[in-house]
Amino acid sequence: MFWGSRKTIDMNYFPDEVLEHVFDFITSHKDRNSVSLVCKSWYKIEKYSRQRVFLGNCYSISPERLIARFPGLKSLTLKGKPHFADFNLVPDDWGGFLYPWIKAMAKSRIGLEELRLKRMVVSDESLELLSESFPNFKSLVLVSCEGFTTDGLAAIAANCRFLRELDLQENEVEDHRGYWLSCFPESCTSLVSLNFACLKGEINLASLERLVARSPNLKSLRLNRAVPFDTLQRLLIRAPQLVDLGTGSYIHDPSSEAYNKLKAAIQNCNSIRSLSGFLEVAPCCMPAIYPICENLTFLNLSYAAGLQSNELTRLIHHCRKLQRLWILDCIGDKGLGVVASTCKELQELRVFPSDPFDAGNAAVTEEGLVLVSAGCPKLNSLLYFCQQMTNAALITVAKNCTNFIRFRLCILDPIKPDPVTNQPLDEGFGAIVRSCKGLKRLSLSGLLTDQVFYYIGMYAKKLEMLSIAFAGNSDKGMLYVLNGCKKLRKLEIRDCPFGDTALLEDMGKYETMRSLWMSTCEVTLGACKVLAKKMPSLNVEIINESEQTEFNLDDRQKVDKIDGPLSFTAPSGQETWCFYKVMIPVSKVGIAKPVVIMRSEKYTQMVTVDGHDFWFIGFVNYEKASV
């Protein structure tokens, strides 16, 4: 290109509209961020043409700042609570509220069309305001959220005239019975995706049938437990074009007419590629779905507790094209053998425990995993809850499958060693990281020493996320990881003997990461203060969950939890420190509310640079980056 030889770049050569058109082809967040760094002109064009924004942490930027930065925002993805909130390790009142975002976007008349939320607190009030403020709103996806009732859904149904997608995944929703579905006006015919499987209450079945009947574009439908077999049959007749189906209750008499009708209806649904649900199920009715099994690419039976191993395997026999399988461990090792011999296209396998609290009965062991690894060469993503694991098995798996991107193993009994050799599982996981050069996400379990972290630091060069529990012997373990894993972005640790030395040795490392979580480790308050003082761009949150009524300010005291970087807007009543997050002594037993004072000028500058997550611990050359 000719401008390589010039000293100054004259971007006025191309009119803005041309550049904008070119940028339209750049969809990855990372790339768009890079584009905005090139020069002032590109920054401006990119800024006004940016429609999709992803925030890995909703506290990394204020809503007002986001809106000022990207006034053309149409699609927003927000993540709230840290991952370990899924396991009750984060206090309930930690935060992650949606309302401030809706309020700010409504006030600035943002033309919001899509909202995707994960682990956020969503109130009915925010849903109502959302439904009234954005006339072009099309898509709402809520994953693992809480705080709302079906009244909020009613507002969405009633007011979002062009709604295409309402997708509720695993949310805790207070159910005020099924009238919300009737709130979709007769004029609403635009639905493409409707998923209410996580709702617990009754549904107005007649309204549902009418809604499906007038939604010719409906491709994805996931029902809840309250939708019975008969209704399912009638819905399938109205929507043979479905691509993704989640059944509700699937119980009937196989000799009945209704069953025969369903069989016929399903045979017409030859576009279905994804099947889930069976929240209540009569095994004898499963043969009705065999005809569509051959086309399935995704099968999720992880909530189908009513199916036993033999029924599951009978079903799996028909699913030759399966790419993703989510299943309960009652399938057993033998059942996994059937998966291995049938599903040659399998890429992702998730095996959940049917009885999480009784580890002695977990029905799968290392044998099932070895079988799948041998039979499914395309396997690249694993979540496996099992009773036990051996080094030999992991080594074999590593040999069989070198393509793992995600490898998450959970041995239900923590710190359980290899039952055959009584050794830690260091060698097994070591083999995995050595063999799977593309590994991005790893979760460890079982008995593990510092050695496994040595291997991880040495070999897991592409690793981005690591989850550790009850592992390691000393600070060395954590240091191996921090020093070796250059691409590490998220590190979450619980109940490990890692302490101040590990935390403070290479603080600059945190500037390249998104987040660090440490709970019930050996980190002291003093070390947290040091970290926060030395790295002012980091936001360090300390959560004190002890039963002390007065917060003990002794530096030697071990903190229960530290995570960062996060930021909060500061309510009044802060303590004397002004560099970092501050604890307010609790008057009630239990949770201390963390507070931070943000240094807004620096914050603003950091934000203009990194569009990706708006979420980074520090930015080394922000002077250079801000244009």
Partner 1 sequence: MEGSVAYDNDLNLKATELRLGLPGTHEEQQAVSSSTVRNNKRPNGESDARNETAPPPKAQIVGWPPIRSYRKNNSQPKKTESEGVGIYIKVSMDGAPYLRKIDLKVYSGYPELLQAVENMFKFTIGEYSEREGYKGSDYAPTYEDKDGDWMLVGDVPWEMFITSCKRLRIMKGSEARGLGCGV
The footprint of partner 1 on residues 325-364 (CB under 8 A) is 328, 330, 352-361
Q: Cβ closer to partner 1: 46 or 311?
A: 311
Q: Cβ closer to partner 1: 217 or 310?
A: 310
C-alpha span between 560 and 118 (Å, rounded): 25
Q: What angle do CA 397, 433, 394 make, to 5 degrees?
A: 25
Task: Determine, following the binding rule CB under 8 A, whether residue 5 of this chain makes contact with partner 1.
Answer: no
Whole-number minimum distance, CB 313 to partner 1, in Å?
14
Q: Cβ closer to partner 1: 225 or 238?
A: 225
Whole-number minimum distance, CB 358 to partner 1, in Å?
6
Instruction: List the interface residues with partner 1, window 163-182 (CB under 8 A).
Output: 170-172
List 196, 385, 453, 517, residue binding partner 1 (CB under 8 A): 385
Helix (H) or strand (E) holding 187: none
Phi-psi region of 88 (alpha: psi -120 to 50; beta: other; left: phi over 0): left
Whole-number minimum distance, CB 256 to partner 1, in Å?
5
Q: Cβ closer to partner 1: 388 or 435?
A: 388
Using DSSP's 3-state secondary structure scheme, residue 30 falls into helix
C-alpha span between 130 and 101 (Å, rounded): 10
Within 8 A by CB and 6+ apart from 256, the residues are none
Tokens representing residue 259 in the block: 């069953």
List 68, 104, 106, 284, residue binding partner 1 (CB under 8 A): 284
Number of residues engaging partner 1 in binding (CB under 8 A): 71
C-alpha span between 220 and 139 (Å, rounded): 13
Distances (CA, A) of 428 to 331, 473, 492: 24, 18, 21
Whole-number minimum distance, CB 149 to partner 1, in Å?
16
Q: Cβ closer to partner 1: 282 or 504?
A: 282
Task: Determine, following the binding rule CB under 8 A, whether residue 25 of this chain makes contact with partner 1.
Answer: no
Helix (H) or strand (E) holding 23: helix 16-24
Whole-number minimum distance, CB 437 to partner 1, in Å?
26
What is the DSSP track for 253-291? -TTSHHHHHHHHHHHT-TT--EEE--SEE-GGGGGGGHH
Dihedral sign for Cα atoms in the order 525, 528, 530, 532: negative
List 443, 524, 544, 608, residue binding partner 1 (CB under 8 A): 443
Contact 507, 531 (CB under 8 A): yes
- For partner 1, what does the binding mask look like between residues 541 and 580, x meaning CB under 8 A? ----xxx----------x-x--------------------
List 302, 365, 380, 390, residue binding partner 1 (CB under 8 A): 302
Segment contacting partner 1 by CB under 8 A, of 181-189, 466-474, 603-611, 616-624: 466-474
Instruction: List the interface residues with partner 1, window 105-134 (CB under 8 A).
Output: none
List 80, 82, 417, 430, residue binding partner 1 (CB under 8 A): 417
Instruction: List the interface residues with partner 1, window 242-281 (CB under 8 A).
Output: 249, 251-254, 256-258, 280
List 17, 24, 64, 86, residue binding partner 1 (CB under 8 A): 86
Residue 392: alpha-carbon gap to chain centroid: 31
Tokens representing residue 84 in the block: 């370990």
Whole-number minimum distance, CB 496 to partner 1, in Å?
9
Task: Determine, following the binding rule CB under 8 A, whether residue 467 of this chain makes contact with partner 1.
Answer: yes
Q: Cβ closer to partner 1: 291 or 419?
A: 419
List 8, 88, 187, 576, residue binding partner 1 (CB under 8 A): 88
Q: Cβ closer to partner 1: 138 or 350?
A: 350
List 8, 187, 422, 572, residue binding partner 1 (CB under 8 A): 422
Task: Determine, following the binding rule CB under 8 A, whether residue 424 of this chain makes contact with partner 1.
Answer: yes
Instruction: List the interface residues with partner 1, window 472-491 (CB under 8 A).
Output: 473-474
Dihedral sign for Cα atoms in the order 334, 336, 342, 344: negative
> Between β-strands 515-519 and 561-564, what pairing exists: parallel, antiparallel or unpaired?
antiparallel
Whole-number minimum distance, CB 144 to partner 1, in Å?
7
Nearest to 78 by CA among 104, 58, 52, 103: 58
Q: Cβ closer to partner 1: 424 or 564?
A: 424
Q: Which residues pair with 48 in a beta bridge?
A: none
C-alpha span between 446 and 56 (Å, rounded): 29
Task: Determine, following the binding rule CB under 8 A, whether residue 198 of this chain makes contact with partner 1.
Answer: yes
Q: Cβ closer to partner 1: 388 or 515?
A: 388
Q: Cβ closer to partner 1: 2 or 87?
A: 87
Q: Provide Rg for the chain, Cα atoms.
A: 26
Contact 428, 394 (CB under 8 A): yes
Whole-number minimum distance, CB 354 to partner 1, in Å?
5
As a residue count, the chain comes to 627
Torsion angle of the four alpha carbons 55, 59, 63, 64, in this order, in degrees rounded to the nearest 10: -120
Contact 73, 109 (CB under 8 A): no
